[in-house]
């Protein structure tokens, strides 16, 4: 399982890979209130989890994502559905509709999706 903080490191690599630790640090420092050592700790955790790999090139390691973003989104989505809605999508949509957070565009997109699923 990738933490929220680790997912920010992954976002950098999903956007462009490979990257060195220095490049990842440079990309994250303006966005996050983290120290360089913290970011490197996240890289090491992600390596241990198998979410990324490192190849030594020249005098530096180049980092590559192993975990595809789509696979991570799928796992996270399923986790939320399972934990909060018993694994069912309808209660999730009902929750948002009851809180009036669905825009007209969201509702139209849901109708289109349901129509496509019915075909």
Q: Does one domain contain both 42 and 56?
A: yes
Which residues, other chains included, contact 88 with Cβ-Cβ below 8 Å and sequence gap of 6+? Answer: 81
Phi, psi dihedrals of residue 100, rounded to the nearest 5°: 55, 40
Q: Which residues of the chain have pLDDT under 70?
A: none
The whole domain housing 95 covers 69-118
For residue 77, what pLDDT is reported? 94
Task: Give the residue from 23, 49, 65 where a domain finishes.
Answer: 65
Please tell me the total count of domains within the chain: 2
Q: Does one domain contain both 75 and 87?
A: yes
Q: Is the pTM of this model over 0.75?
A: yes
- Do the beta carbons of residue 51 and residue 14 sit within 8 Å? no
Q: Does one domain contain both 51 and 89?
A: no
Q: Does one domain contain both 43 and 96?
A: no
């Amino acid at each position: 399982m990738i933490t929220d903080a680790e997912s920010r490191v992954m976002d950098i690599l999903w956007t462009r890979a490979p990257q060195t630790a220095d490049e990842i640090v440079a990309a994250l420092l303006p966005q996050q209130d983290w120290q360089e050592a913290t970011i490197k700790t996240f890289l090491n955790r992600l390596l241990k989890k198998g979410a990324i790999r490192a190849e030594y090139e020249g005098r530096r390691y180049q980092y590559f994502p192993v975990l595809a973003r789509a696979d991570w989104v799928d796992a996270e989505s399923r986790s939320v559905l399972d934990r909060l809605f018993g694994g069912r999508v309808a209660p999730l949509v009902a929750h948002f509709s009851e809180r009036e957070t669905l825009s007209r565009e969201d509702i139209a997109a849901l109708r289109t999706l349901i129509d496509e699923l019915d075909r």
